[in-house]
Homo-oligomer: A and B are copies of this chain.
Amino acid sequence: MANLSNPVMSSSALVEPRPLRVGLLGFGTVGEGTYRMLLDNAESVAAKAGIPLVVQRVGVRDTQKPRSAPSGLFTSDLQSVVDDPEVDIVVEVIGGIDPAVALVERALANKKPVVTANKEMIAKVGHRLVNQAHKNGLDLHFEAAVGGGIPVIQALKHQLAGNDVPRMLGILNGTSNYILTKMSETGAPFDEVLAEAQGLGYAEADPTNDVDGFDTLYKIAILAGIVYGGPADLDQIHREGIRHLDAREFDYARILGYTIRLLGVAEECGPRRVRLRVHPTMVKNDHPLAGVRDVFNALWFHGDFVGDLMFSGRGAGADPTASAVVGDLIDVARNYNLQGSGSAIPYGQSLAMEPMETVESRYYVRLNVLDRPNTLGRIATAFGEHEVGLAEMEMHVVGPDEGEIAFLTHISKEGDFVRSLTAIEELPVVNMVAAWMRVEG
């Protein structure tokens, strides 16, 4: 129960409550945005949290760099921030593993609740950190780690928690979604669109994390950890990026009524048994995810009671991410007032992971073939012999003696489909399997 004699709790104006003091680790895009939001919206934040929030100390690598905050706040001794008795809550926005994990562990050991935006850390060791927080009766919040300002994490932890969840699909990386949107609209190749995105600041100089699917992989692992109650082995998550996508696939997607999106997919295969995968996907144009464009993120969620839900919004950037960090801080502050902590939900055992072989999906495939009288018959027969049914086909002559065929299959087992492609590649009338992709909707 709330301790009503605690001055922090007092709702009378007689005793000005001492503000909650935030120690900020990192002052990059997100750190600076968080600082600015706490300042700009100080009044409404205090009203919602029941107490003012102030940034007490900021740990950065380089204290000489000019910053948009008083220089007296900064220190290069990061550990001193989490050890400072005048810091009540720690916000970690450095990112990555080292030194972030050690600092968060130390903050929790010092009985300070933690708010973080660090997806890599939560995906890799979140279960350990959350369980440490739970044991110490502390909050460890990470709303900003997935979907920027879109409030998916707490919704999955709380309001949707009563549902069994057969499936979740997410567009979780804004950079990839921007590139895919532009490739689709302009017909330009990947490298050209990437360079343009880098020029606009939508992609980093080294885009690996975004375009090769690592970022999406961390995020779908975090969502699955919450929904299915245990950490996922990241090495067992199937991952394909968007670098290899050919402009031809966008042409066929358009002709067939689809859009290409990089999806993170989580599927329940049994109790505590899941399949997690990240790959470009042809999404039917009438699926809500097909309309999510540019740098927007979205999560499509199916629960056994709630049915289909969709969340969408800006999944990255200083301000939306700050919105999530500050939302978490308000939550922590409210629990702090009440001398309790509600939100560190312990993780259970690691999830069992199903292999890709067992996926059931529709598939898109594009073949380069020789233009012979029996080409189509032999290919169709090979699909049929592997239990792969064909739903739609586009066939074009692309040169003297050469053709291109694109198929959409009915729902098939991935094992069967992959074996059918091996058989088809060996046919004398087939030059190559040029590309294939899973299909949603």
Write the residues of chain A forming the contact surface with B, with a CB cutoff of 8 angstroms. 1-2, 4, 11, 33, 37-38, 40-41, 44-45, 47-50, 137, 143, 148-151, 154-155, 157-164, 229, 288, 291, 303-314, 319-320, 322-324, 326-331, 334-335, 338-342, 345-346, 348
Output the nearest chain B residue to A307 by Cβ-Cβ distance: B314
Q: Is the CB of A1 within 8 A of B340?
A: yes
Are B312 and A306 closer than 8 Å at their CB atoms? Answer: no
Q: Out of B44, B310, B334, name the residue touching A342 (CB < 8 Å).
A: B334
Q: A342 to chain B: which residues have CB within 8 Å? A: 331, 334-335, 338, 340, 342
Smallest Cβ-Cβ distance to A163: which chain B residue: B323
In the assembled complex, the Cα of A340 lies from the Cα of B9 at a distance in Å of 13
**How distant is the Cα of A164 from the Cα of B45 in the complex, in angstroms?**
9
B162 pairs with A37, CB closer than 8 A: yes
Query: Bound complex: CA of A312 vs CA of B97, how far in Å?
Result: 35
Q: Which 6 A-B pairs have the closest CB atoms?
A: A340-B340, A162-B326, A151-B159, A149-B306, A159-B327, A306-B323
Whether A11 pairs with B346 at a CB distance below 8 angstroms is yes
Q: Are A158 and B154 in contact (CB under 8 A)?
A: yes
B154 A341 Cβ-Cβ under 8 A: no
> Which of A137, A305, A323, A348: most chain B CB closer than 10 A?
A305
**CB within 8 A of A149: which of B49, B309, B327, B331?**
B309
Beyond known contacts A288-B291, A340-B340: 16 more, CB 8 A cutoff: A47-B348, A49-B161, A149-B309, A150-B306, A151-B155, A151-B159, A161-B327, A161-B330, A162-B323, A163-B323, A305-B323, A306-B323, A308-B313, A310-B311, A310-B313, A335-B342
